[in-house]
Amino acid sequence: MTELPLTQLPPNAVSRQAVPACHDDVCVTCSDEAVPVRVVRLLDDGLALVDTGVSQEEVSVALVDASVGDTVLVHAKEAIVVVREGAGS
């Protein structure tokens, strides 16, 4: 992604600030990282309480079939995959 000067933004652009540039195929917002966490409790509305190793946080598990005790990879507060024992070996 490249930065556009304000003068080159389309007239209907929502933002008045220049778009930040991404470098080396890495997102400047989140660094494209998924973090492994353990599901502590399933909540209503596709949410779960997870243990990050530092604290407990609420994340969405709506996209995965997670159970209590599962390790899930979370990106932007959204579980994107359940890590199964023996996967990748």
53-72 tens-digit pLDDT: 999 999 999 999 999 999 99
Domain boundaries, the chain: 6-83
- pLDDT of amino acid 19: 46
Residue 30, pLDDT > 80, answer: no
Statement: residue 82 has pLDDT above 50? yes
- CA atoms within 13 Å, Cβ hemisphere of 60: 8
Q: Which amino acid is at 28?
A: V
Full 3-state SS string of 7-44:
HHCCCCCCCCCCCCCCECCECCCCCCCCEEEEEEEECC
Q: May I ask the CATH class of domain 6-83?
A: mainly beta
